[in-house]
Amino acid sequence: MSRATPYAARPGTTRCGSAGDESSTVTTTSPDTALSRPAPPGASAAGRARWTRVAGWAAPVVAFVLGVWGNTRPSAWTDEIVTIDVARRSWPELLDLLGRVDAVHGLHYTLMYLVGRANGGLNEFTARVPSAMAVATAVAGLVWLGRLLGGPRLGLCAGLLLAVLPTASRYAQEARSFAFVMAVAVLATGALVKALAGRPGQADRPRKRWLAGYALLIALLGWFNVMGLLLVAAHAVTVALRRPGRRVTVRLLGAQAAGVAAVVPLLVLGSAQSSAVGEAAPVTAGTPVNYFTWLLTPGQDTLPTAPRLLLTLTALAALALLAARRHAAPSPALAVGVPWLAVPPLLLMAVSFGHPLFAYRYLLFCLPALALLIATAASVVPPRRRLVLPLLAAVPLAASHVAIRQEDSRQWDTRAVIRTLRIHDAPGDAVLFSGARCGLLATAFKEAFTNRPDLGRAETAAGLGALDNLPADPALLRERLDGTLRVWHITCTHLSSGAREAAARTTEAQERVLSEAGFSPALHHSARGVDITLEQRPGGSPSVRAVGARRAPAPGDGWEPPDPPPGSHRSGARGHTTTLVGISQGNITGMI
């Protein structure tokens, strides 16, 4: 392949459509973008090409529709609640937080703050819509990137595949930064490809605007999440594989260095702060397979094993076919997609052996690479067999989309808490939270906790410039319990190993004070990630069921109070298995 046209694709390799196209295909290369485009002799072929370009716009629309479909059904959980709480603060309070604790998420928090101001407030729907827009942007970018690497059909297939992958929809419905990282990663990769193509007739002279855009996108990638900078290593491998020439290589390395340098101030500031992080997953021999499976189905334990296995095997079969027929595939797509899919997880796994950092969500930006490679595999499948892969994947894809939209598909079923209070509350009820960031429920969902004082909060997170409220000490809690007859004790159990010990101590102290004040459990309900206990003392409402009868359940509530179990629930409430969300101080773990 000539260096003057480093990204000219092979004839007849951009097929992701109907049979019979290959026989009438010749290759023409645009001097502007060094792309391979089919140039069939007939007007009908030109019409098909126009249709393919127009259809490319359908992919981001599909992605956005799937992103907003049912996005209020899954309960908001820990990190989303933090996002909503932070975005509702005043601008001085937000700046105070970023200066003290969480600068590494500052760009996303600022964006969500602006979204809240533009919409007159922030709720679950408005907090998640920006992520759906980011996924749609990633899909549109992948359509463009695939077109650069192999023609319009490859771009269309890759974009549509990314749009329908459940993991893309899962993070389109989450008020966190990972969808933005994925979108920027796709655009940065497209800028890299354009820079590698060079100027018309001068492949060894990359356009300055694409170099500048590439550097800017790398910086933006790091400011959204520092783990996104792992993409830089994948891009370096792509450049080495394409061998564009010394001048292009040097300038691309300079653009990468400039982009990374722009993130250094954030790295320095973040390393001196403590921040909310997820507990690292252990790196084992099975991690690569788990990573591949996670990209296809985002770790939902509500999805049966059979659909997950079928989807994984289908994708593996497609990639195996691509490996076997790699000489028939467009080499630029392989040079971009393979390092993008493989290098970041390998680097993260290697680093995690010495400093545990590995978490699958940090690698969401690799998902477009998988879509690109599977679409490339489809282009080398014989025309009569192209329907086999989508038919095999249809059922597990549909099942996974249903699973990620269940109410309890997130780590905290906060909707169960709000519903329980709505059905069974009584005038004068108070709430008491236990567990890291659990008390933010009352600030993130103010309407649900109106007229229900939080007895366990000494000072708000906003007032502290922190991510969590300051808990009341036992003396203050004992004082606040005077005159209170019923307390809803809400314990969040989805905690990291670093937060469990402190949460257990707080819970024990609260239960001791409740017992000393004469409270005993009258109702207990466990939902995903939360325990809800109604503590009542003599003089309160005589019957939990009578309280429940005073207000009919709203349509769709679907919950009936269980019979109060014998004895105290307090010791048992602390026995639930818990998971992540801890605190780290003064190291890179606090910057994720």
Q: Which two tokens stand for residue 296?
A: 């296809």
Q: Round to whole Å and give the CA distance between 340 and 82.
A: 31
* Statement: the pTM of the whole predicted model exceeds 0.75: yes
Q: How confident is the model at residue 21 (pLDDT cuts 50, 70, 90)?
A: very low
Q: Is the pLDDT of residue 86 over 90?
A: yes
Range in 165-174, 270-279, 378-387, 459-468 the model is least confident about: 270-279
> What pLDDT is recorded for position 386?
74
Q: Is the pLDDT of residue 550 over 90?
A: no
What are residue 531's DSSP bridge partners? 491, 526
* 443 closest CA partner among 466, 420, 425, 477: 466
Tell me: the pLDDT tens digits for 574-592? 333 322 222 232 333 333 4
Q: Is the pLDDT of residue 85 over 60?
A: yes
Q: What are phi and psi of 157, to 5 degrees?
A: -65, -45
Q: Is the pLDDT of residue 209 over 60?
A: yes
CA-to-CA dists, residue 352 to 4, 151, 347, 358, angstroms: 41, 38, 9, 6
Tell me: the pLDDT tens digits for 405-463? 888 788 788 888 989 998 888 889 999 998 888 889 888 888 888 889 999 999 999 99
Q: Is the pLDDT of residue 257 over 80?
A: yes
Q: Round to whole Å and give the CA distance between 386 and 374.
A: 12
Q: Round to whole Å and give the CA distance between 189 and 171.
A: 20
Of 199 and 439, more confident: 439
